[in-house]
Every structure is written in C-alpha cells, then in structure tokens.
Amino acid sequence: MSQTHDEPVLTRTTPTLGERLRQAREAKKYSIAEVAAQLRLTKDIVTCLENQEWERLNGRTYARGYFASYVKFLGLPYDEMLAVFNLEYTATEPAVNLRQQHHISDESQFPWFMLALIAIVLVVGWLAYQQWQAAQMAQQNAALSSEINEQTEQDPNQDNFAESIVEPLDSTLPDNSEPEADMAEPVTDDMGEQEEGAAPLLTDDSVAETTAAETDNITQAEGQPETQQIQEAEAPTLRMTFSGECWVEVTSANAKVLVSQVMQAEQSLELPVEQPLQILLGRADVVTIYYNNEQVDLEPYTQGDVARLTLGVDS
C-alpha cells in the first residue's frame, strides 16, 4: 500500500533590477530625496530607475549612466547588475531621433530668444535715459523759475518788456548839421565886421588881429563836429549774440527792466549803455557778450548755467 504526500511547491522569484535598487536603498535607510541629492539627480529619475521605466530616461545612454551611478552608490555588484540591464534594455532608434530633434529645436530657438532679450534691454535703457534727461531739464527749469521769482519779489513794480527795445544810437545824439550851421554864422559875422572895420585904415597890426580872429573862429567851428564824432564813437554799447535758446534779463541802475525774454539761436541784442546795467543769463554757455566791441569773459560770473554780471560806465 502506497501513500502519497502532497508537498507544497515553493516558487522562488528573483527580484527585478528596480526592486533590488529599492531594497538596497531601504536597507541603508535612504529616502528618494537623499539619493537624488547625493547623485545630483531629480527624484523623478530615481523613481524611474526603481520602477524600471527606462523609456522615460531620454535614451539608453542616459538610462545606463544613471543606473550605473545608482548601483555604485548602493554598493551592489556592478558587473552583474549592468549585465542584467543590458539584457533587459535595448535601445530603439526613434528614442534617439527624438532626442536629436529636441536638441535641434532648442538650438534653433536659442538665437531668437537672445535677440529678443537684447532688444528688451535696449528699449529699457533708452526709456531710462529719456526719463533721466526729462528730470535734468525739470531741475534746470525749476532753478531758473526760482531765480525769476526772486527778481520779481525784489522789485514788484518793474516793467516787464515782452520784446527787447533797442533804440538806434544815432537818435540819442544831437544832429551834427545844426551845430555846423550855427557855428558858421559867427564866422561870417566876424568876417563881415572885420571887413567893415578894415575899410578906413589897414595896418599890419590890424591885419594880424583880423587873421588871428578868423583862424580862431574857423578852428572853433571845425572842432565842435569832431568833438561830437568822438563822443559818438566813445558811447559805450552792449551787444549779445546767441548760439542757443537762453532767457535774458537786463535791468538798469534804477531797477527798471529793459529786457526780459527768451532769445533763440542766431539772434542778437544790442543796447546803448548810458548807466550801469545788471545782466542775468539763464544759459551762459550759449551767449557771447561784447562791451565796446570787446568780448566779456563770463566764466567768473557763472554758477552752474546761470550768469550774473554788471556792465556800464560806473561798473
């Protein structure tokens, strides 16, 4: 009589590569984040290695490199593990082609991205420069306005001229023709008297006296026009030329505003100087001043862009 015994059949399963990696990591009590930090990989790559998701590791070359690093880190049999990996994983050409296409796409987009970035930087720089220039002009205008207000507060009764009034120099001087005519009459009268007095008796002394008197009268008649011409030539004048826009104010000694206006480039201004004049310039670097045909150096009178100076016969 035979007796059969049913023995249980034991099936031994060999763990996969991913399971061996996970078991070794858990045995060393490492978390996925710690392994990723040590290997300088992402947590997704470590998870893909333990789950054997090779297709998500960007091709066989990358997958084999990540796998080899993980095996060395855990201290597992290197050659054995790589041999099993080579049997399980075979590279497919489409995956490689996709990787190459990805690189080509990135390279084609790179120049356009850099050009756009450079254009944005240039635009931002240009806008910043424009704002800086506007701020500088606002500061200059504010300083000039404050100076104008100070001048107005010092003498509120001043007469402001919208345009410069330049009177011709000849109109302020007397006409030379009238003195010549007036001086010519005494000469004629004296000569007539000398002729009448010389009719009864002519002597050497009387002839000499008559000649001397005529000479004095003629010299006096000729001397007065020359004196008037010298005075006219010596009359001081003030002339200003402008190479750019500038605000100008000219005030007389009795605090009367003669000129208060903005002059433009290529314009000029000329005034007779009968008394000391106070001059205020908003932009001294675009103004050239001539006093009696001699250029005036504005540098000692300039602070910033504003110049203050006094010119005249008594200055």
**Residue 185, pLDDT score:** 47
The answer to whether the beta carbons of residues 213 and 240 sit under 8 Å apart is: no
**Residue 202, pLDDT score:** 43
Of 80, 18, 77, 82, the closest CA to residue 49 belongs to 18
Of 286, 292, 284, the closest CA to residue 234 belongs to 292
CA 166 to chain centre: 36
pLDDT band of residue 262 (cuts 50, 70, 90) is very high
**Residue 234, pLDDT score:** 62
Look-up of token digits 């001059």: 279
Q: Which two tokens stand for residue 216?
A: 């004095």
- Average pLDDT of the segment spanning 269-288: 87
Average pLDDT, the chain: 73
CA 62/CA 102 separation, integer angstroms: 15
**Statement: residue 186 has pLDDT above 50:** no
Q: What percent of the chain is predicted at pLDDT more than 90? A: 17
Fold of 17-91: 434 Repressor (Amino-terminal Domain) (1.10.260)
**Statement: residue 182 has pLDDT above 90:** no
CA 302/CA 251 separation, integer angstroms: 18
Higher-confidence residue of 88 and 119: namely: 119
**Residue 114, pLDDT score:** 84
CA 81/CA 88 separation, integer angstroms: 11
**Residue 118, pLDDT score:** 93
**Residue 314, pLDDT score:** 53
**Statement: residue 122 has pLDDT above 80:** yes
**Residue 138, pLDDT score:** 86
Q: What tens digit of pLDDT does each residue of 200-236 get?
A: 444 445 444 555 555 555 445 455 555 455 445 566 7
